Amino acid sequence: MKVASFNVRRLGTSKVADKNVLKYLIKYEDTQVGDEDAFAREPYILRFTCLNTVLKDLVLIPVHTKPEDSVKELDELYDVVKVVKRKWKTDNIMILGDFNADGSYVTKRGMTNIRIRSDKKFNWVIGDDVDTTANTGNDHTYDR
């Protein structure tokens, strides 16, 4: 498996235009009727075409939640996934990034209020006991 990292804003028009690299890039618009704007930074949604693999496509939803709003933002990702499934008819979706999903930002009780956590259709690859920080002063699982 090859993993590549890039800054969406610096990807460049030539790469974005190459459908063999990136099929779609959209910015999620949090505009549901009767819903408040949940995200400090709306996630960009990337859809890749997978050549020569079992998967035909892969959708990545990278996020960096605002620490004090992590529960609200993580819960809203449930709606983002619903939009992606409806738009592209795929279940090959991965949400990743800095969730700030531990410590004082998201408590164990707070986790129960997050639909992408309580819905068994979602699989959390990184467990709650994994230290994902570089800080030696804590052992939180912020990144998922």
100, 109, 106: which is closest to 135 by C-alpha? 100
- In the three-class reduction of DSSP (H, G, I as helix; E, B as strand; rest coil), residue 15 is classed as helix
Cα 22 to the center of its chain, rounded Å: 17
* pLDDT at res. 85: 95
Domain map (residue ranges) of the chain = 11-100
pLDDT in tens, 20-55: 555 566 666 666 666 677 888 888 888 888 888 898
SS3 content of the chain, % helix, strand, coil (to 5): 25, 15, 55
* Predicted pLDDT of residue 75: 96
Q: How far is it, in rounded angstroms, from Cα 122 to Cα 85? A: 13
Reading across the β-sheet that carries 24-27, which strands appear in turn?
A: 24-27, 44-49, 57-64, 93-98
